[in-house]
Amino acid sequence: MFKSIRSRFTMIYFLLIFIAMIIAGVFIIRSFEDYNLNVASERLDDIAQIMLTELAKIQDGDLIANKNVIQASIDNHADIGLREEIYVIEQSTQQIVASSAEVGGRAVSDILSDALVVEGLLGNVMEKNIQISDSVRTKDKVYPIIDDDQLRGIIYLRYDLKDIYSSLSTTRRIILQAILTSLCVTIVISYFLSKSITDPINEITAKASKLAEGDFSQMVEVRSEDEIGELSKTFNFLSTALKASISEISSEKSKLEAIIEYMEDGLVAINAEGEIIHNNPKALALFGVEAIENEDIVGDLLSVYSSGRLSEDIGTKNITYRDKILKVNFAPYLDDSLQKAGAVFVLTDITEEERLENMRREFVANVSHELKTPLTSIKSYTETILEGMVDDPETEKTFLEVVNSEADRMSRLVRDLLELTSFDSASVKLKYAQHNINRLISNCILKVKVTADQKRQAIVKRLVDEPISAEFDYDKIEQLVLNILSNAIKYSGEEGIIEIDLKSYEKTFDLVIKDNGIGIPEEDMNRIFERFYRVDKARSRMLGGTGLGLSIAKEIAEAHGGAIGIQSVYGHGTVVTINLPYTQGVGNSETNVV
């Protein structure tokens, strides 16, 4: 019923007039009622003043003794046409001494308001509107009679409000008739007023529908110089401008399609519903398909948009697809209302560039990490000798031998750095030979002992009585053990304990390195072997870690046909188990503290 502007405009106009007149009518009636009640109250005040003046003439103040005189005075008022009821009540006996109405020996409480009588006997002037029955309303008011500062009684006046409320009822009927008449006139006026507004709008709407269908020759008649006329002029201008704009857009669209078709990068456009609305031949070539109908491709692009966008929803991210690394630049495109209607993805094949960059990063990372441990040992022993802390020539010789050994090891590491990349391609060449595992462990402990002593840490080793001989690449396994030992020392506190256990089995042996350091949180356990991953980035950076140590150790262990496992409780320490194959080894265990 109220879907059209005309009906809503009529209803709004009707409601505004209706509400305004209702408020005005209520205000008038309320004001009229208050005015008449105030007039009645003032009339009672005048009568009371006359009665009090006459009662003041009684010399002894005895109301009961002079009740005939009082009654005569009241009768005189009745004779002159006063319609108000007058009652004079004596204070001590609370009897009606005289009245203008027949009392018939009834008690005061049967005729008058007890509350007003009590207020009057307390010396107060009080009034009250009382509804005696459905058709009888009165205004009652009491006045104290005071003689020589003593309360002698009260005057109780009652005014019949029948005429006032009868007049109010008549006023209400008149106002209601005026409201109904005004509303009828309002409906007629608002209908024709709304029609004069909606008819031009309906014409413009019909023309706009044809304009939307592509007929840009539509024009509307300008009938006035008001806002509707301005709307008509604007529509005509819009129709003319739109016709010119469509022609220009069509030309620009042809140019843009040619550019996209032959650009060197792939382009894919996806709408808000996740449907591909455009792609160029280069995008098909990058994905290796004749048409992008694969839902996985769409899902991958939407995932890239969700995870890689910046605050402005513009960003870039690299993805891997069928052994290709694609750089995806993306941004949203907007509709006519400047709302996001979808996203545009520009794809660039950076497989070769990324491969070269990865080689560079891995090379630099491995150089930094692999050279750090021997450099630390050389520096520690050299500083010890230079500071004159070694008095024994034999000890000094031992220290120099360690320095020389570490220098040789660095030379070997530099020569072998390029071979580290062969781990990923499974083409690493290990230099297998028979080596004494006990001796390797002791040499590793000797190389890290200075670092451990600086933190007052104890290294406890438990080796078998008879040395174990195994076939492995000495440098690689030494590098593996030193990495684990260095981590144990690095992440253990002052006076920590690092335990090294060598356990022999039938075909393999375990090298178990345990510390009581800070441990690894449970949520990080499944990522500790990832390259460059650090559990505590700030602490690792402060201690010089790069996040490559454990991944290199894992590669070395697996290249020897072994494995490396880690168990840790955060805050209580870490246990690293290195399992490797061996050729022989038996005997009882022994414990040494160094």
Give the pLDDT score at 93: 82
Q: What's the Cα-to-Cα distance from 553 to each of 28, 470, 550, 577, rounded to whole Å?
A: 97, 18, 5, 11
> Tokens in use for 329?
């630049």
* Residue 204 one-letter amino acid: I
**Alpha-carbon span 522 to 515, nearest angstrom:** 17
pLDDT at 415 over 60: no
> Which has the minimum average pLDDT: 328-332, 377-381, 413-417?
413-417
pLDDT at 176 over 70: yes
Q: What is the DSSP letter of 584?
A: B
**Alpha-carbon span 164 to 416, nearest angstrom:** 118
- Mind listing the pLDDT tens digit for each residue in 113-135? 888 888 888 889 999 888 877 77
Give the pLDDT score at 290: 67
What mean pLDDT do residues 58-74 have?
Answer: 78
Q: Which residues contact 97 (CB under 8 A, 6 or more apart)?
A: 63, 64, 67, 70, 71, 88, 89, 90, 153
What mean pLDDT do residues 335-353 have?
Answer: 80
- Mind listing the pLDDT tens digit for each residue in 347-382? 887 887 877 676 567 556 656 656 776 788 788 888
pLDDT at 137 over 60: yes
266 sits in which H/E element = strand 266-271
| CATH number for region 430-593 | 3.30.565.10
Among left, alpha and beta (phi > 0; psi -120 to 50; other), residue 102 is: beta
- Mind listing the pLDDT tens digit for each residue in 552-583? 788 888 888 899 999 988 888 999 999 999 76
- Mind listing the pLDDT tens digit for each residue in 203-231? 777 777 877 777 767 777 777 767 777 77
Give the pLDDT score at 481: 92
Give the pLDDT score at 594: 41
State the residue for tokens 């075909």: 507
**Alpha-carbon span 158 to 112, nearest angstrom:** 9
pLDDT at 412 over 60: no
Q: What is the DSSP letter of 122?
A: T
Give the pLDDT score at 512: 94
> Tokens in use for 363?
């090379």
Give the pLDDT score at 310: 57
What mean pLDDT do residues 517-538 have?
Answer: 74
Give the pLDDT score at 500: 93
Distance of CA 246 to the CA centre of its chain: 43
Give the pLDDT score at 564: 93
CA nearest neighbour of 91 among 153, 14, 175: 153
Give the pLDDT score at 585: 38
CATH architecture of 355-419: Orthogonal Bundle (1.10)
Which of the given ranges, 56-60, 163-167, 287-291, 540-544, has the highest pLDDT on average? 163-167
> Which has the minimum average pLDDT: 81-90, 134-143, 276-285, 421-430?
421-430
Evaluate whether 143 touches 52 at the Cβ level (below 8 Å). yes
592 sits in which H/E element = strand 589-593
What mean pLDDT do residues 433-456 have?
Answer: 90
pLDDT band at 142 (very low <50, low <70, confident <90, very high): very high
What mean pLDDT do residues 161-167 have?
Answer: 83
pLDDT at 419 over 70: no
* Residue 337 one-letter amino acid: S
Task: Give the SS3 label for residue 147.
Answer: strand
> Tokens in use for 517?
């350091």
- Mind listing the pLDDT tens digit for each residue in 81-99? 566 888 888 888 888 888 8
**Alpha-carbon span 43 to 57, nearest angstrom:** 22
Question: How would you list the strands of the sheet with 573-581, edge to edge?
Answer: 563-569, 573-581, 508-515, 497-504, 458-464, 589-593
> Tokens in use for 411?
């030379």
How much is the pTM? 0.36
- In this structure, the strands spanning 276-279 and 458-464 are unpaired
pLDDT > 70 fraction of the chain, expressed in percent and rounded: 83
What is the average pLDDT value for the chain, to the nearest integer? 78
**Alpha-carbon span 510 to 280, nearest angstrom:** 58
pLDDT > 90 fraction of the chain, expressed in percent and rounded: 7
**Alpha-carbon span 474 to 471, nearest angstrom:** 9
| 5-166 and 265-349 have identical folds | yes
Give the pLDDT score at 363: 55
End-to-end CA distance of the chain: 98
What mean pLDDT do residues 128-149 have?
Answer: 85
pLDDT at 341 over 90: no
**Alpha-carbon span 558 to 344, nearest angstrom:** 44
Give the pLDDT score at 498: 92
> Tokens in use for 561?
């046909």
**Alpha-carbon span 116 to 156, nearest angstrom:** 8
Task: Give the SS3 label for residue 370.
Answer: helix
Helices 474-490, 351-386: crossing angle, 10 deg rounding = 70
All structural domains of the chain with their residue ranges:
5-166, 218-262, 265-349, 355-419, 430-593
- In this structure, the strands spanning 126-131 and 96-99 are unpaired
pLDDT at 593 over 50: no
**Alpha-carbon span 430 to 434, nearest angstrom:** 13
Give the pLDDT score at 527: 77
Fold of the domain built from segment(s) 5-166:
Beta-Lactamase (3.30.450)
Question: What is 265-349's CATH superfamily?
Answer: PAS domain (3.30.450.20)
pLDDT at 538 over 50: no
> Tokens in use for 367?
């150089």
**Alpha-carbon span 479 to 66, nearest angstrom:** 134
Evaluate whether 115 touches 109 at the Cβ level (below 8 Å). no
